[in-house]
A and B are shown apart, each in its own frame.
Chain A
């Protein structure tokens, strides 16, 4: 009997060590991703959003984006003309504000369902959440390839619209190349592909294409005039400033 127990215990320890080291690897890979993406103290630039439906019809929007740290983000629309001045502001603590100049007063939006599309794009409010990946997901390493890691990210929140996200991470620079989103029925519903470029010391996603596979609809965001660490003040990210 003892002869039988020993190898079993040994195998258990070996396997749990394996699991734990794999989990450790996954956690550290994701931590590195967060470190790359959220490295700048602040960031600003122009964002062009090209919304494309299945018939190939395109709608273009343009906005000025400002971000400070992880959880302060402002979009102020400059195109189309009818939306000039419309702004969204996200603040720590899941606080979102919407400003529509025609109404003159910012309105707080209580997002009870984060699966809502972010201003008509294919990104949901959940996709745009101002929190690190490590904060939102439990990672698991699925594959360590020559050029990339494949991580399975399981949302920590039961409210998430996803059951898991499969993330393909560039091995050399730790930025995501492709994110595949699966719904609660384990069906792939969306995918986001990223093109990163290095600006100064930081890696920046200059192009992100999110495709909603259910609607055959995509949103391509292109970033330009990107500037990092400009010392953006906290005042810019206040409800009062939204009106300007």
Chain B
């Protein structure tokens, strides 16, 4: 350690220049970073359901479909219809929109004795406006049946305009254009947007807005906390500078490696700001304590002690983040774990190489006027918190232990109440328009969670089309499937319109010739591939309940295995199926990541303390803090979701740092032949201050996420802040109490042995 410390000082210029060059280079890479708000692209290639969803999205134009939802007291009024037409035209004029279908432009094919009527449901430029015309339209719409639940709600208050985006269009540009132009019409009806392009763009916009709003708040907050803690410019500048450099490197490498920023990884800067200032704080705190004539000597001496504990703290934090690699379902969480761990390592390296390199070059005159020990002793924090805490620890160690015991028992009970949530609508606040849109879709249009049944075979074969119809009929037996759509439906409708019955013709030639009438129809690409060798049934699942989804998946799989043939291969997938796996992975992921971190933490602590049992004892505070976290989640109703599933592992990885600092300092003091009381006093007074400042800055940083527009991230921030407070208090109360009691026991047995030997 001594050699490393000397080399850090010796090669300081190399460090400074390297850091500068790397920072400049990587900051230029950041502009190439792309945002990816699409959850589907984050689904893993190991899950067959997810793979099939991605495949279906590529084969058919289903993913490019969006909806404008219009709500009024009654859609069947002249005014509302006129506004629907206006929005339909507006969407049609928006660059990048390939097709628009609404009540005012939908094609109607009707059959009769004489022949076939091909027309529109209404004349867009002579809309019905008399009571008779409107009543007639209402009757025709509900008589036909195919519009109910797909284009108009059963109660006639809500309608959707369905649009598809051109294949090569930029989704975000088009979606923003649609939203902006539609809202600019300033219509009296309530207007919402739904469907994957609109949802993805909304998430992306919220991500950008979050970053723009939250990063400055996090900065200001951390500056304030550092300023209050250190009361020096250096105490603010160094921790912030190293963290900013670590963020630039992390994001720069993300961009360089072609990774995309997801809804979760967009908060890497804020999380690094919260977590990584700690390393520099501890390094500076230690250097400041060294009473040397020059900064260079103080740095050398400080480094000899601090490198190891800071390394261990950074290591456990990085392990906390990396633990997601083992248990996660979504790729975006895996990437988040990898890059946050990388950021943590960068911040650590900067704190032990870059910060000392600069500090060691400060003029020596400054050091002589800087008496940090005195300041510690006289600070408000020391007088009002650390000193009384130390007194309390020695006065009532058993009471403190008992209080923790009760708290943990209550928390254990809370674990049974933890809920899970994988529903995208839960990402948004209750008044968020996207959430309202999702709720409207669920209430009136069978939800927005698509189910796809993929058929591989000749799409013009009567057998394949008949199997499609049979599958649709079977699906509709579920109370959670309202409607289904496929090419087989279109063929049946056309056949019926030609007066041949509502069925798929037996003659393949008839099907081929009916197809002739469908040529050029926009809907075709949605249901079949150009090669006519694959087709899909599109449906939606209404129940958000995972049990219902599981039961439906099971029934469908049985049906499919009974009906799939080499000439007509059937597969089913969809977000409800992915949700089931995602839900299961929340528990598995949580267990795996926490287990990995806790094992690593026990190993690391055992190595420091040179005893497995001592390592286990020292892990008790962090395990206690984790139980406390789960208890709070259970009692407050904060569900386990894609973001809160990260909390426990990060909290253990980062929170164990407090225990490491306490143990390291305690051991360090004991080596200087101080007794337990003295050693603990010094630990609480010196390490305690750094811990309190660090907790405030970390918790403050995480609490900034409360202002995020994503509910999971709000909860993540809140829970992380609570965990940090919990683990720091565990390290400063439970751990010292364990140390006191263990040492008392040791002292007692030692005294007993001494007495026995003297007798």
Residues of A participating in the B interface, judged by any CB pair closer than 8 Å: 54, 57, 82-83, 86, 97-98, 100-103, 107-113, 116-117, 119-122, 158-159, 183-185, 187, 214-216
Contact = CB atoms under 8 A, between A and B. Distances in A.
Sort A-B residue pairs by CB-CB distance and give the 4 closest, nearest first.
A112-B119, A120-B519, A108-B115, A120-B520
A150 B500 CA distance: 49
Contacts of A215: 98, 166
A158 to B, nearest CB: 6
Given A103-B513, A158-B126, A119 B519 contact: yes
27 contacts: A54-B168, A57-B530, A82-B516, A86-B516, A100-B510, A100-B516, A102-B505, A102-B507, A102-B509, A103-B513, A109-B115, A109-B116, A109-B117, A110-B115, A110-B116, A111-B119, A112-B117, A113-B119, A113-B120, A116-B107, A117-B519, A119-B516, A119-B519, A159-B123, A183-B93, A184-B89, A214-B92
Interface string B514-530: 11111111000000001
B629 to A, nearest CB: 53
Contacts of B498: 103, 107
Interface in B92-119: 92-93, 98, 107-108, 114-119
Interface of B is mostly: mixed
Given A117-B520, A158-B126, A159-B125, A102 B119 contact: no
A184 B89 CA distance: 9
B167 interface: yes
Interface in B236-290: none
Interface of B: 89, 92-93, 98, 107-108, 114-120, 123, 125-126, 166-168, 498, 500, 505, 507, 509-510, 512-521, 530
Nearest to A85: B513
Contact of B510 (A54, A97, A103): A103
Nearest to A111: B118
Contacts of B514: 100
Given A83-B513, A100-B516, A117-B520, A112 B120 contact: yes
A108 B116 contact: yes
Nearest to B89: A185
Contacts of A98: 116, 517
Contacts of B120: 112-113
Contacts of A187: 93
A184 B123 CA distance: 13
Contacts of A184: 89, 125
Contacts of A103: 498, 500, 510, 513
A128 to B, nearest CB: 13
B102 to A, nearest CB: 14
B118 A116 contact: yes
Contacts of A214: 92, 98
B738 to A, nearest CB: 69
A106 to B, nearest CB: 8
A64 to B, nearest CB: 16
Given A102-B512, A112-B118, 9 more contacts: A97-B115, A102-B513, A110-B114, A119-B519, A121-B520, A122-B520, A184-B125, A187-B93, A214-B98
A185 B89 CA distance: 8
B94 to A, nearest CB: 10
Given A158-B125, A214-B98, A101 B118 contact: no
Contacts of A83: 512-513, 516
A83 B118 CA distance: 20
A208 to B, nearest CB: 17
Contacts of A111: 118-119
Nearest to A118: B520
Contacts of B98: 214-215
A98 B116 CA distance: 9
A216 B166 CA distance: 9
A30 B165 CA distance: 38
Contacts of A183: 92-93
Contact of B118 (A54, A86, A113, A159): A113
A150 B120 CA distance: 33
A215 B93 CA distance: 12
Given A113-B119, A184-B89, A102 B520 contact: no
Given A57-B530, A82-B513, A107 B115 contact: yes
A58 to B, nearest CB: 11
